[in-house]
Chains A and B, each alone.
Chain A
Amino acid sequence: MFNDFINQFWPATIDGLAFGSIYALIALGYTMVYGVLRLINFAHSEVFMIGTFGAMFVPFTLGINSALTGFALVGVIVLMILAGMLASAGTAVALERIAYRPLRKRGASRLAALISAIGASIFLQELFALVIIPNVFDRPQQGRVQMGLPRLMERTELFSIFGHTVRVDQVLVIVAALGMMVVLDRLVNATKIGRGIRATAQNPESAVLMGVDIDKIIRMTFLIGGAMAGVAGALYLISYENTNYFIGFLFGIKAFTAAVLGGIGNLRGALVGGIVLGLVENYGAIFFGSDWKHVISFTILVLVLMFRPTGILGESLQQARA
């Protein structure tokens, strides 16, 4: 068994990092919205799903069906990421406008918003299965069938660690995800909008008195969180080359777990939580078999929360120094 662990350690680490980065990007959306509104946006999983289809739209419209190289490849990848961001951010903002703001304005309880989120989530899934996939993506009667992406990027070896291949697509996912995290971290900590977000998170009433436009800040929070899920969607699609209307479900649960694990409301916590979850899943699978993957990750979650109820990093957006 330990032999297995040693043999599979490096490939498991690389896969764990790549998948963990995707979890982390999605987790940001949960954690930001929670930080500002104290609300778990359970429709965020569908924001990710729509991001994968936004990214899918680019090669689909361009009619690409063979692998690309050089500038064409870079161009298409950038376009896919942008399209994913656009689709996801648009969805997240629309969700806020339609599913949450009317409730917030009427002072409804957070429980009502939670139900509204679950309703929106089911609505979006069925919208894609019944309308968008059959019509926009020209797959009549196949709305619930997995949709594949033709191979865009050859799976070439970039370098190897102790004899284990590291592929170009894995590096792309990790690097792009970390890059987005740095940008986001700067955005929240060093810009005016970021200051508004932190102020609203700490004390909404005082923030209003200080001249912060709360509606705008909340909209921005959804927009940024959605855009991150869109990046995650595009990266996932490029690397795994398939998606379906239900793909958000498992990712949503895992990313939410990552957010809680790292400390919900804490941006860096989302990164730590995502990566830890990705690694633990893959290491655990070596010992207990792949079917135990979910059991292991949730056991870790329970253990962390028992001893550190605020998550690994704990400190949240509310307490962060302004």
Chain B
Amino acid sequence: MGDLTGPNSGIVIPPRNGAKLVIDEYNKTNPAVKIELVEYDSQGDGSKAVALAQQAIKDDKIVGLVGPAFSGESAQVAPVLEEAKIPSISASATNTKLAENGWKFWHRVLPNDGVQGPSIADFIAGGAAAKNVFVIDDKSEYGKPLADAVRAQLGTKGVQVTNDSLDPTESDFSSVVNKVAAAKPDAIFFGGYYAAGGNLLKQLRDKGVKDAKFFSGDGSLDKGLIEGAGAANAEGALVGCPCYIATPDVTDAKVKGFADAYKAAFSADPAIYAAEGYDAATVFVEAVKAGNTTPEKINEFIASANIAGVSKQIKFQANGEVEAKDIYIYQVKGGAITLLGKAAEAKLG
């Protein structure tokens, strides 16, 4: 479940494809119990997502849910699933608070913003050696806490931080841009999704803010950021992500096998969260393979699962968080997103 046709669908379609890949692979082996993948297009809208979740539970009788993709809709859908006792695994919702509700049926296969924000901030202050940082958020359930985590961590490092927020439904960010231009920062962090991020980056560069390095979080890790900003403006932009994207030069056999299968099925390289979507669906497939077919049984299996996934070792804590906590840094080079390395180790070339 997630935004499959809306403005930020670019970060939801890859995990959907990843999930589809696993389930198709599994069904091809002609198992005794086949798994059917039903898609729910919430367009990222919480109220639509809740209605769809109810439909999924009552009419389609789902046994598990991959998603919801975004944090905002997750906060609304998770209680519904909890009540119906349907396990869910999100491949992309990273809001920290989601894990604090005591939900027993909710999980995610990637670390939260509480990990992502500080790691990116450490990189801004360390690897990128910035002293004066302008932090912008989009006031969303995802962008604001992420930006706040970055602000707090930068504060502890003695970095000067200036703040502003924007409304992502707007297209004119000139008031934000004027503030940035006046503050003359050496780095800018944007907490929000790529649709607004691309426009913001373009307007910043057009206004002559050219030297400040542009950082963002996983919500902006999409080629839409480059399309929105224009390749020349996006060049050098840095994006942090708890996700792992297999780049073509990958050597690990398991990851390479996944990347090749993905490319063969969807004629595109795996993009953001594709590996996480694959892993989330893998957990469900393994659960069914182990003979669990009811939602409760599957949830018990998930709680004790310890599976070698494509992106990481999948092992859940009691609150639904995954144990592995690596954040990766990506950089736009020559109009494409390339992996720079783990945030703790990455260096700017």
Residues on B with C-beta less than 8 A from A7 are 182
Contact of A294 with B43 in the complex, beta carbons under 8 Å: no
Enumerate A127-149 residues with CB–CB distance to B below 8 Å.
141-146, 148
> Is B202 positioned at the interface, with any CB of A under 8 Å from its CB?
yes
Instruction: Kindly list the 7 A-B residue pairs having the minimum CB-CB distance in the complex, ordered from nearest.
Output: A285-B175, A15-B174, A291-B165, A7-B182, A11-B178, A290-B175, A8-B178
> Is B167 positioned at the interface, with any CB of A under 8 Å from its CB?
yes
Given A12-B175, A15-B178, also A143-B166 (CB < 8 A): no
Shortest CB-to-CB span from B16 to chain A, Å, is 12
Type the 1/0 row for A277-310, where 1 means its CB is closer than 8 Å to any CB of B: 0000110011001110110000000000000000
Residues on A with C-beta less than 8 A from B163 are 289
> Is A247 positioned at the interface, with any CB of B under 8 Å from its CB?
yes
> Is A161 positioned at the interface, with any CB of B under 8 Å from its CB?
no
> Is A203 positioned at the interface, with any CB of B under 8 Å from its CB?
no
Given A8-B179, A240-B171, A247-B171, also A155-B227 (CB < 8 A): no
Given A8-B182, A151-B230, A242-B199, also A145-B167 (CB < 8 A): no
Cα(A294)–Cα(B175), bound, Å: 12
Given A7-B182, A165-B208, also A144-B9 (CB < 8 A): yes
Contact of B227 with A148 in the complex, beta carbons under 8 Å: yes
> Is A250 positioned at the interface, with any CB of B under 8 Å from its CB?
yes
Cα(A294)–Cα(B167), bound, Å: 9
Given A12-B175, A286-B175, also A145-B165 (CB < 8 A): no
Cα(A5)–Cα(B10), bound, Å: 38
Residue of A whose beta carbon sits closest to that of B43: A144
Contact of A240 with B175 in the complex, beta carbons under 8 Å: no
Type the 1/0 row for B168-206, where 1 means its CB is closer than 8 Å to any CB of A: 011111111011011000000000000100110010001
Contact of B172 with A4 in the complex, beta carbons under 8 Å: no
Cα(A262)–Cα(B24), bound, Å: 61
Q: Could you list which residues of chain B lie within 8 angstroms of chain A, going by C-beta atoms?
A: 5-7, 9-10, 43, 139, 163-167, 169-176, 178-179, 181-182, 195, 198-199, 202, 206-208, 224, 227-228, 230
> Is A21 positioned at the interface, with any CB of B under 8 Å from its CB?
no
Residue of A whose beta carbon sits closest to that of B172: A19
Residues on B with C-beta less than 8 A from A289 are 163-165
Residues on B with C-beta less than 8 A from A240 are 171-172, 199
Residues on A with C-beta less than 8 A from B227 are 148
Type the 1/0 row for A2-24, where 1 means its CB is closer than 8 Å to any CB of B: 00100110011001000100000
Once A and B bind, how many residue pairs between them come within 8 Å at the CB atom?
93
Residues on B with C-beta less than 8 A from A316 are none
> Is A315 positioned at the interface, with any CB of B under 8 Å from its CB?
no
A: interface residue count bin: 35 or more
Q: Which of B10, B170, B207 contacts A145 (CB 8 A)?
A: B10
Given A11-B207, A240-B172, A293-B175, also A146-B5 (CB < 8 A): no
Contact of A145 with B178 in the complex, beta carbons under 8 Å: no
Shortest CB-to-CB span from B284 to chain A, Å, is 25
Given A4-B179, A240-B199, A250-B169, also A146-B7 (CB < 8 A): yes
Given A143-B5, A145-B10, also A290-B171 (CB < 8 A): no
Q: Which of B6, B172, B182, B228 contacts A15 (CB 8 A)?
A: B172
Shortest CB-to-CB span from B268 to chain A, Å, is 13
Q: Which of B164, B171, B175 contacts A282 (CB 8 A)?
A: B175
> Is A221 positioned at the interface, with any CB of B under 8 Å from its CB?
no
Contact of B228 with A141 in the complex, beta carbons under 8 Å: no
Residues on A with C-beta less than 8 A from B199 are 146, 240, 242
Contact of B165 with A144 in the complex, beta carbons under 8 Å: no
Shortest CB-to-CB span from A178 to chain B, Å, is 19
Task: Give me 9 A-to-B residue pairs in the complex whose CB atoms sit less than 8 angstroms apart, sorted by A's number.
Answer: A8-B179, A19-B174, A144-B43, A145-B195, A282-B174, A289-B163, A289-B165, A293-B175, A294-B167
> Is A244 positioned at the interface, with any CB of B under 8 Å from its CB?
yes
Residue of A whose beta carbon sits closest to that of B9: A145
Contact of B195 with A250 in the complex, beta carbons under 8 Å: no
Contact of B167 with A290 in the complex, beta carbons under 8 Å: yes
Contact of B7 with A145 in the complex, beta carbons under 8 Å: yes
Residues on B with C-beta less than 8 A from A247 are 171
User: Known contacts A155-B206, A247-B171; can you find 16 more A-B pairs with CB under 8 A?
Assistant: A7-B182, A11-B174, A12-B174, A15-B172, A15-B175, A141-B5, A144-B7, A146-B195, A241-B202, A241-B230, A250-B170, A282-B175, A286-B179, A290-B176, A291-B139, A291-B167
